[in-house]
A and B are shown apart, each in its own frame.
Chain A
Amino acid sequence: MGAWESHRNSLVPRPRAQTMEHREGQGGAEDALLVRVGQKGSRAFEDLYDRYGGAVYSLAVKMLRDRRTAEEIAQEVFLAIWRGARDFDPARGSARSWILSLAHHKGVDAVRRQRLRTEESLSEAMTAETDVAEDALRGMTGTEVQNALALLSDGQREAIVFAYYGGYTQQEIAKRLRVPLGTVKTRMRDGMLRLRTALGPQAKGTDQ
């Protein structure tokens, strides 16, 4: 597996050099931690909160733009981690990815509920956000993510940022940007493949 990985890596050019040892050391420890949470280890759970509480809360603040709601969502996320950690399978992805996609999923649900509650029409909601894409980019602190997003075309970046931070579906984005759905799909896919190459520390698949 190790040999196979390095062979693959040499075929896929990467902007940054990464060592497998570093990745596996860090990721493996977190995977083990999440497995212990799955066995209802309360100390492991506290440890996990100390590592991810900030990231989960910050993402919720970014998506919901309201600290009170973000707290509720973060609590919901950690309860879901506590209840669902036994389903985590390290063979199918890293703990980091599992936790953050769970957090994102809850964030998307919440932001969609929020929009329904405020009864804004789609166009109003999107106008009110001025330019989510620009806003998201301005707020970025991780230069790594910022650099990666800067590699994308404007259309790709817009589609990804609206989807990920705004919680909008492909259909909603197509409507808002007045472009065909197929175009949004293509931008999202091509943009994510680029992001994956630039960012994904565990990128393993092949670009086709």
Chain B
Amino acid sequence: MTHDDLRYLLAAYALGALDPEDERAVEAHLATCADCRRDVAALRDAAASLATGVPAVEPPAALKTRIMRATELEARVEPPAPVTPLPQRRPRNWSLAVTALAATLAVVLGGLSLSLNRRVATLTNQVNSFSDRLAVQEQVLALLASPSARTASLRGAVRASVRFVYDPLRRQGVLVVSDLTDPGAAFVYQLWLITRQTPESAGVFKPVVGRSIIVPVQADFLRYQAIAISVERGPKGAPAPSAPPILLATL
């Protein structure tokens, strides 16, 4: 079909009146044609108005209860945020942020305690599988046994036990976290390795209340001067820190 043929089908597409074959053709075209995307957006608005023209029927109260419960359940069985290194790295001067740490402490803490919600209870269920944990613990043991391993305790805005054990020669490290509060459903903790002025993401994690968690990190640690943690939007974190670090240690 030509562009004009496809464009002619947009109205029917917005009405949901295409057979599956035509619908796929239109969708494929929309992926590449900004003009048609704009047209479809306008046609969809008109179609959406048709939706609001029907006689209003009050939904039963039980419907809302069922829907809210279903999403809550789904949130509970969702896998924990995976520890994913972010490929995108954008340099940014972070030294200012580090010095402003004390000033913004209260704000960050306030935000943290505010966002402590009912998810805390459900988070305890969202734990890494046992075998994964064993593998990581073995990694920790191996690190501790290594003569070239070093340890750094992260300090800063929050009272938490967060230690970073790393072996510069093997380029392996683990962050051991306990007593860190839940950052809230929409947020994650993000780990940063800092060169002279530039933080680079080393992954995101969520704490588990009442348990220690271990975040493996692989990097050439000799390149970095410090390691830090900030609170960022979940689930993927930020390409560059949007808030000052809450915990920091020099390497």
**Pairing of A with B:** yes
Which residues of A pack against B, CB within 8 Å? 36, 39-42, 45-46, 49, 53-55, 57-59, 61-62, 67, 70-71, 74-75, 78-79, 82-83, 92-94, 96-97, 100-101, 103-105, 108, 139-142, 144-146, 148-149, 160, 163-165, 167-171, 173, 185, 188-189, 191-193, 195-196, 199-205
Q: Is the interface of A mostly helix, strand, loop or mixed?
A: helix
Q: Is the CB of A199 within 8 A of B71?
A: no
With both beta carbons as reference points, the residue of chain B lying nearest to A187 in the complex is identified as B11
> Which residue from A55, A57, A140, A142 sits with its C-beta under 8 Å from B63?
A57
Chain A residues, CB < 8 A from B51: 55, 59, 100, 103-104
Known: A164-B47, A167-B16, A201-B45. Contact between A62 and B67, CB under 8 A? Answer: no
Known: A58-B54, A58-B56, A79-B70. Contact between A200 and B18, CB under 8 A? Answer: no
Known: A40-B186, A170-B17. Contact between A202 and B42, CB under 8 A? Answer: yes
Q: Is the CB of B42 within 8 A of A203?
A: yes
Chain A residues, CB < 8 A from B42: 196, 200, 202-205
A141 to B52, CA, bound (A): 9
Question: In the complex, what's the smallest C-beta–C-beta distance from B244 to chain A, in angstroms?
Answer: 21
Q: How many residues of B contact A (CB 8 A)?
A: 50
Within 8 A of A (CB), among B1-60: 8-12, 14-19, 35, 37-39, 41-60
Q: Is the CB of A40 within 8 A of B15?
A: no
Known: A42-B185, A82-B74, A205-B38. Contact between A192 and B15, CB under 8 A? Answer: yes
**B155 contacts chain A at the CB level, 8 A cutoff:** no
Chain A residues, CB < 8 A from B233: 39
A202 to B38, CA, bound (A): 10
Known: A39-B233, A45-B71, A168-B17. Contact between A97 and B45, CB under 8 A? Answer: yes
With both beta carbons as reference points, the residue of chain B lying nearest to A161 in the complex is identified as B50
A62 to B9, CA, bound (A): 25
Question: In the complex, what's the smallest C-beta–C-beta distance from B198 to chain A, in angstroms?
Answer: 27
Chain B residues, CB < 8 A from A58: 54-57, 59
